[in-house]
Amino acid sequence: MAVVETLPQNHTRRRTRSHKSTAWLLTAPALALMVVILLVPVLSAFVLSFTDYSLAAPEVNWVGFDNYEKLFTRSSYEKMLWATFTYVAVVVPLSVGLGLGAALLINSLARGKEIYKTIYFLPVMATLLAMAIVWELMLHPTIGIVNRTLELGCGTVIESLWPWLANGCANGMPLWLGDKDYALWVVCFIGIWQGFGFNMVLYLAGLTGVPRDLYNAAEMDGARSAWERFRLVTWPALGPTTVFVVTITCIRSFQVFDTVEALFPQGGGPSKSAYMMMFAIYEKGIKQNLIGIGSAITMLFLVFVMIITLIQRRLTERKVHYS
Amino acid sequence: MTRIGEFFKHALLLLGAFIVIVPFYQMVSYSLKSPAEIERGIGGFMGSQALMIDERCVGSNTPDRVDVEAARTDYPSLSDSDILGALLEKVREDCKVRPAIFNYRSAFKEAPLMRYLLNGLIVTGSIFLLQVIVALPAAYALSKLKFWGRETVFGLVLFCLLIPVHAIALPLYIGLAKLGLINTYAALIIPWTISVFGIFLMRQFFMTVPDELIDAARMDGMGELNIVWRVMLPTAVPALMAFAIFSVVAHWNDYFWPRMVVTGDRSLFTPPLGLREFKADIDGSLYGPMMATATVIVTPLIVAFLLAQKKFIEGITLSGMK
């Protein structure tokens, strides 16, 4: 500070002016790329979604809302929306809940915290595509370890206690990925398996920020049980973390692609039960060159992401924690 | 009471840990076992590692007429068909390998896995480097220089944070196709050169750097660009490390984008694409080599993670710092 004050006035002014142009020069590459790579594509997707554009086609026609109309009337897109929303509705609460549960359990341990943290974080690091293929092999109807393990239960007392298993023993174990009753749930399961460790780490970071003395205060006020302490202190203090974790998990879940593409190369799984939006964009836009409809799905996708983020901002502004 | 509580907590966490680890265990185990052991589900973790015959090796070394002619002197008393039989027996003997070696050797030989790994390195490395070159000067200007329009630019950064690049893949693809860049390294790299998140992150970090440091550098006659690289960059190494991990992990593991812009050209495949191709190609029996490929692809990041866990967790959860 002292240095600046001793500078002659005109020097400062000249410097400020030269800063202006350098500042623009320094931001120019980033600014240009932001416009070209992020903003222009959003705008062009918007425009293209009203056309029947396709690469290498001689002409482009304006089709108005046709693409959007298809999106909301055709059964394959209805399946797409259903599959995507089911996936989000299943994966978000479960992977957030498991992340929170794991964080609370680990945080309360006397020893062994680090090892659990490391293990639970492994799937976050691993290439999802590779792990999806491993899961596919594990769920292989005949040679997969899952059905092999289940078959061990046949003829034992477990079979009589668990009707589902008894049915499997009698009529054959599920085909999992080949069965439209299971395929989507398997995809959800892999999503949860892969993602909850990430949420756990965020919650663990959030837990370090909960003031210790709040627990004592709550206890003095009569919050004796662990549940009461959680409800009165931990949960409210974790408010901001929860808002963030839910938002980021939502956005990630909407983007699910690797698992469905690897597991269902034919597109969308048995009777399109796992036909996700990102896969639909890829299939329609790139593989079938139907760019108009692909762009319409893109716009719908962006709208969902915007809505989620706006909700997040609203919640964050309202200051979810009162610690 | 607390003893019992602790016991139940560990029991629950161990169950979770088991489910988390099983796929990794299976992947490595399959990558070591012979096809027969995988088929029948025997052999524990390692399999028996009994010698197996590599049928492909036999196929490519099957003795023909020339070999029989050449071998006639070695087997003077045998008929041609017996010589052929003897030679074939010898080839089969030579083609015996341990299953683990067979799996990993096939992983590298059946597909150019080395090339895929190299591509992964080139792509993730270039992306990170370009992201830094673009983001650092911008972050410096946005945090330390006062100029007209600064708030607007920063507002734009905040707005762009909302746009997931994967979501706008289709228009980006069209743009790249129009430029004739599909199936090039450029297509794999260019869309990621701008990391608004990187700009945002580095800006937040630069805000904490004292102005005196910059003023002192200016007094020494340093230009602004020099200040970015020689003053700001060294102070930002920890934040940059975290960002590097964030960026490298995301792009090494990314499957969606390479799938979009690389269609047939194997020499451009990144590791996940290579694995996917392997899966599409196999007839269903080569699970061992496929799992070996998966292991090779997953291992680098897992090992790095185990060596520097704190840094990795910091890097991956960076997006939580907003």
Q: pLDDT digit string (tens) for A188-207?
A: 999 999 999 999 999 998 89
Q: What is the spatial distance between Cα A71 and Cα A57, in angstroms, rounded to a whole number?
A: 22
pLDDT band for position B310 (50/70/90)?
A: confident
Using the beta-carbon criterion (under 8 Å), do A128 and B260 form an inter-chain contact? no
For residues B209 and B232, is the Cβ–Cβ distance under 8 A?
A: yes
- Most B CBs within 10 A among A19, A38, A147, A190, hence the mutation to make, goes to A38
Query: For chain A, where are the alpha helices, taking DSSP H only?
Result: 2-6, 9-33, 40-48, 66-73, 75-107, 113-125, 128-138, 145-152, 157-161, 163-171, 183-208, 212-220, 226-229, 235-237, 239-254, 258-263, 277-281, 291-317
Query: In chain B, positions 77-116, which contact chain A (CB-CB < 8 Å)?
Result: none
Opening angle at CA A276, ends A274 and A279, nearest 5: 115
- B27: nearest CA in chain A? A134
Query: In chain B, positions 14-73, which contact chain A (CB-CB < 8 Å)?
Result: 16-17, 19-24, 26-27, 30, 38-39, 41
Using the beta-carbon criterion (under 8 Å), do A41 and B168 form an inter-chain contact? yes
B280 vs A contacts (CB less than 8 Å): 265
Residue A59 has pLDDT above 70, yes or no: yes
Average pLDDT value for chain A: 87
* A20 against B206, higher pLDDT: B206
Whether ipTM exceeds 0.95:
no
What is the nearest CA distance from A123 to chain B, expressed in angstroms? Answer: 7
User: How large is the average pLDDT for residues B79-96?
Assistant: 85
Report the residue from A109, A201, A291 with minimal CB separation from B313. Answer: A201
* pLDDT at residue number A19: 67
Residue B241 has pLDDT above 80, yes or no: yes
Cβ atoms within 10 Å of A158's Cβ, excluding its own: 14
B112-147 pLDDT tens trace: 999 999 999 999 999 999 999 999 999 999 998 888
A37 vs B contacts (CB less than 8 Å): 165, 172, 190-191, 193-194
Q: Give the type of residue at B158.
A: L
- B16: nearest CA in chain A? A120
Q: Is B52 helix (H, G, I), strand (E, B) or coil?
A: strand
Structure tokens at A79: 């399946």
Q: What is the spatial distance between Cα A48 and Cα A60, in angstroms, rounded to a whole number?
A: 10
Query: In chain B, positions 289-308, which contact chain A (CB-CB < 8 Å)?
Result: 290-291, 294, 297-298, 301-302, 305-306
Q: What is the spatial distance between Cα B54 and Cα B97, in angstroms, rounded to a whole number?
A: 7
* pLDDT at residue number A240: 87
For chain B, domains (ranges, CATH) are: 2-105 (no CATH), 113-321 (1.10.3720.10)
A42 vs B contacts (CB less than 8 Å): 163, 168, 171
Quick one: fold of A68-317? MetI-like fold (1.10.3720)
What residue spans define the domains of chain A?
Answer: 68-317
How far apart, in Å, are the Cα atoms of A1 and each of A7, B179, B206, B213, B226?
10, 50, 17, 10, 21
A39 vs B contacts (CB less than 8 Å): 160
